[in-house]
Amino acid sequence: MNSLMRKSTPDEIRRRFDADVERFSNLETGQTATMDAPVALELIARAAAAVCPQAQSLLDIGCGAGNYTLKLLEALPLRRVTLVDLSGPMLERAAQRIRAAGAVEITAVQADIRAADFAAGSFDVAVAAATLHHLRGEEEWSGVFGAIHRWLRPGGSLWISDLVEHRPAAVQQVMWDRYGEYLATLKGPEYRDHVFAYIEREDSPRPLVWQLDQLREAGFRAVEVLHKNTCFAAFGAIK
């Protein structure tokens, strides 16, 4: 990938998602570019419920239109959800959908997670789906992981579903070629090129193993991989 200096700014990313609320209001249409998105969603909901079956408070980082919160509401006795997203229209749609799903206290925060702040021990569960790959330098990753660890209660858990990088470069190319084949089979070569172009502009993922190491360094006592397919992974950490 090119230098981080050429990546999209948070405001540019926000504008793209502001214009795409309808697509992301449906898991099947909004996550077609993510391999095994429904599988990751199901596994994260089940794992979160197994680790903390009485969880009442959820932090949804990069909530989009609310798909992960809606799924977790089916698995956990949540009473309070805090939604964080760059996009105001996404937050509005997420809150609307979650409110319609049942009685739960909703707090919507339009912010970059790098600038957000919450009281220590505020949440039982945190999820971050297809959002942390927008982090840039390694200090941002360690800062965000450390903040999430602080915001969780003892025994709380963080669950991530995201694009991941591979090292060495030869392995990354194998995975990238396979992902390209998936995209082209799904909607043709023009769609593949479109997805590759916005990943190049916007994203700066890190390897799965590197992220697991960073989670341990942030203080999480256990990490676990739920699923991996090519350059996408679902994994978690327990405080």
Nearest Cα neighbor of 144 from 91, 100, 84 is 84
- Which burial class, exposed, middle or buried, applies to 53 when counting CB atoms under 10 A from its CB (0-12, 13-18, 19+)? exposed
Per residue in 126-158, pLDDT tens?
999 999 999 999 999 999 999 999 999 999 999
Per residue in 160-185, pLDDT tens?
999 999 999 999 999 999 999 999 99
Mean pLDDT, rounded, of the chain: 91
- The domain total for the chain is 1
Is the Cα dihedral 94, 102, 46, 186 positive or negative? negative
Phi, psi angle pair for 34, to nearest 5°: -95, 115
For the domain that residue 146 is a member of, what is the CATH number? Answer: 3.40.50.150
Q: How many CB atoms lie within 10 A of CB 143?
A: 15
The rounded distance, in Å, linking the Cα atoms of 216 and 214 is 5
Nearest Cα neighbor of 84 from 148, 16, 165 is 148
Per residue in 180-235, pLDDT tens?
999 999 999 999 999 999 899 989 999 999 999 999 999 999 999 999 999 999 99
Domain extent, residue 153, equals: 4-238
